[in-house]
Structures are given as C-alpha cells and as structure tokens.
Amino acid sequence: MISFVIVVAMVVCLGIAVFVPVHGATAVLVCASAAVVAGFFVRRADRTNNNFLLYLFVFGLLARMIVGTLIFSLNLQEFFGGDALTYDRLGAGMLKAWQGDPYYKNILRGYESAGWGMAYLVGGIYVAVGRNPLAVQLFNAVIGAATAPVAYLCAQHMFQNTRVARSTALFITFFPSLILWSSQGLKDGPIIFCLAIAMLATLKLGEKLSPKYFLLLVGGLGGLLSLRFYVFYMAVAASAGAFFLGMRRVTGRSLARQVFVIIAVGLTMTSFGVLQRANQQLETYGNLERVQVSRADLATAGSGFARDVDVSTTSGALRTIPLGIVYLLFAPFPWELTNLRQSLTLPEMLVWWACFPLLITGIWFTLRYRMRQALPILIFTTMLTLAYSLFQGNVGTAYRQRSQLLVFYFIFVSVGLVLLKERQEDKLRRGLIGQKAQRHSPQEEPRVTAAGAEA
C-alpha cells in the first residue's frame, strides 16, 4: 500500500510540474513542504488509526491537487470562484507594499479592517516563492485535506466510536464541494480548517486543561477573526456557551477549569485588540439594516431568490429564516438548474438529499444521548445555520458557504449511518439467533451499543 501511495503521489507531482511548466514545480514544492508538516501531525493524531488517517490525508490531498491544477491550467477561476482572482491581486499588492511601495501601502491600509487574513496568507506565499496562484491553491489543498483528520478527532471524542469517526473523515475527504472549495485560492478552506481546530480544542479543553489545546483554540479563533469575523463571534459564543453549560458532569474542579479557560481566552484575545476591533465591526455591520443591504445585493444576482424579502425588521427576519434554511440546506433545486455551473452540482445534491434523513437521525440521537459532549458543535451549527439563512439571498453563495457547515453536519450524518448499519446488523443477528434457537436451546440476545450510547 505504501509503495502504491508513493507512486501515485510522484505521478501527480511530476504531472503538475510538467504540464504547468511556469508555476507547477514551485507550487508542488510549496505543497510538499506543507504536506510534510501536516502529515507529521496527522500521523500522531490517533495512534490506533494513524495509517488510515495518513492514507486518507494523502488521497484527499492528491484529489485536491488534481482539481486545483485543472482549474488553474484551464483558467476556470472565474467560473468556479472569482474571489480567487481578487485574493491573487491583493496578495500581489501585499507583496509590493511589504517591499516598500508607498502606492500599495496606501491602497491596502483600509483593507485591514476586515477579512485581511487571506490577503496576508497569499502575500506570505508570494514573498517566499513569487507571485504563483497555483502555489496558493495547492497550499489550500493541504489545509483542506488536513481538515478530515481534525473532524475525525472531533467525532471520536464526542461518540467514542471509530466507525462514526471514520465515516466522518471519509465524507469530508471526498465530498465534491469540499474538494472544490479547498482546491482554489479561496478562504473557504482555511475557514473550515480553523473552525474544525477551534471545535476540537473546545472539546478537549472541556475534558481537561492542556496548553496545547489552549493554543490551538486561540490560534483557530484568531484565524477565523482574520478571515470572516462574524464566524469568529459565533465560534466564540459556541465555545463559551459550551464551557458555561458544561460538556461533562459539573464538579467543582470542572467548573474552575471552564471558568479559567474562558478568562484566559478572553484575556488573550483582548491583548490582541479583539475588543476594539469587535466594537468597530459591530457598529458597522451589527444591525438588520446592514444585513438587508447585503442580502439585497446577493438576491439581485442571476441565482438570487426571494428578492422582495425585507429582513431589516425583526418580524421580517423571523419570516425569512424558514425559507432561508430550505435554500441553505437543499439548493440548488433541479428546476432551478439554468446553466452548466449549477447543473454540475446535481449529482452531489442527490447524495446530500439522500443523507438528510441520516442527518436528522444523528442529531436526534446526539440530543438524547450525547448532547453535553457535542454541545459546542451543536451550538455553533445552529447559530451559523440561522445566520446564513437570514443573510443569504443567492443560491450560488449559499451552496458555497454550506461547506462551512458540512464539516459538522457530516458528523451527525455518520452517526445516523452507523445507527442504520447497527440496526441492520442487529436484525441479522436476531435472525441467526432465531435459527440457532430452533436447533438448540435459546440463547440470550446481545445488546448493541449504538454510536457510544450507554446500553
């Protein structure tokens, strides 16, 4: 197996270097360097399943490298995600500003108020290897592939069930939209990775204090703040809410630990000027009138929906949420496929619609048996689902931003899938026991423990 993986990786890397002669070799070098670092941590993530996670990481990375290279070589950035071209220009501008160009310093000064993280990431790569958009795409591919092992650890921690954790990692590794958005020069991949890191650290800190996971929590939250500030606030609220409510049975020691973590994170964020930045952003964006302006702009695009909706009032916002949730979770619909880009999503949407009953089953099971353990993820996904259902007025944007939720939805889908498999196995076992009972004496039926629930 190792020999096969090495051969496939070499073929893909050499193919990129040969068929993209100007940027390919350098981009592969950047990708390989990041992959070695990520692979080291993936290998150490779970000692009992380290080979599975490492192989999954490698194949997920290769899939993203191939897709990213095709998008770059065929000039499909505008077709799949035009923001990548914007980040390329911003990164190039950052490079010139850091080199002392006063014109670009002046232009980019105002951009640092919000969403500056991606420009700095692109600019940092350009400082190292020159202006190379493919290098950014392949670096994002490493981040996207590394998200699956992190989600595996989250699922394993919540449910103590390897089948649930493996199914979650497989979904995230190979689901088409997650491959697509993490193989381009977009900030979706880093946002999803930072979310997964922040939630994993929250889960681990809810169990015991750890400097490693404290740093991961601060790093994940800091990354979110630099990339998409409102997701940062929701992640903070989810983490703080989970610590206050308790992810384990409350004792004096656990309460002290949770209060300590909250205070420490708050002081750390304050030291980096987060409170001042938060006040500025809330004054600018934190009202329904601003949300209505943004939503109206999205709704007027070609794939916009509910153009006459007004969310500038509380009553209007509440009436919009149900329709927004339907579009966020299920769009694009077959009758709305009016162009090639939308039509390409249909196979994936059929799979996702088929997974939805499993999602409901998994959430129901979690609420009944594992609610405390899954509290931060339940809080965050609920908040972000409601926020996007209110904010989004465009099918294409909703489809893209759904990926930030899919990484956690798939944990619950995997729970539902494992429950379904265990019921089938239980049914088969009952049949076998019944056959033995007819030939021999009756035997006591073993009881199946589903996805970590207490029997």
Q: How many Cβ atoms are within 10 Å of 449's Cβ, its own excluded?
A: 12
Torsion (CA) 385, 388, 390, 391 in degrees, nearest 10 = 170
Q: Which amino acid is at 310?
A: D
Instruction: Parse the chain into domains and list their residue ranges.
Output: 2-75+132-273+289-416
DSSP symbols for 137-191: HHHHHHHHHHHHHHHHHHHHHHH--HHHHHHHHHHHHH-HHHHHHTSSSSSHHHH
Q: pLDDT value at position 378?
A: 93
Q: What does pTM read for this prediction?
A: 0.90
Structure tokens at 286: 């934190």
Residue 424 buriedness (CB in 10 A; 0-12 / 13-18 / 19+): exposed
Q: pLDDT value at position 278?
A: 64
Give pLDDT tens digits for 357-405: 999 999 999 999 998 889 999 999 999 999 888 887 778 788 888 999 9
Q: pLDDT value at position 450?
A: 45
Cα–Cα distance measured from residue 284 to residue 35, given in angstroms and rounded to the nearest whole number: 39
Q: pLDDT value at position 124?
A: 94
DSSP class of 304: B
Q: pLDDT value at position 447?
A: 43
Peptide bond between residue 446 and the one before it cis (omega within 30 degrees of 0): no
Q: pLDDT value at position 454?
A: 42
Q: pLDDT value at position 285?
A: 63
DSSP class of 287: S
> CB of 30 within 8 A of CB of 122?
no
Q: pLDDT value at position 317?
A: 80
The number of helices, as runs of H, and strands, as runs of E, in the chain is 22, 0
* pLDDT, tens digit only, all 455 positions of the chain: 788 888 999 999 999 999 999 999 999 999 999 999 999 999 988 888 889 999 999 999 999 999 999 999 999 999 898 899 999 998 999 889 888 888 887 777 666 555 688 989 999 999 999 999 999 999 999 999 999 999 999 999 999 999 999 999 999 999 999 999 999 999 999 999 999 999 999 999 888 888 999 999 999 999 998 898 888 888 988 888 887 776 666 555 665 666 777 777 766 766 666 666 666 666 666 667 777 777 777 777 667 777 788 887 778 788 888 888 998 999 888 877 777 777 888 899 999 999 999 999 999 999 999 988 899 999 999 999 998 888 877 787 888 889 999 999 999 999 999 999 999 888 888 877 777 777 765 544 444 354 444 43
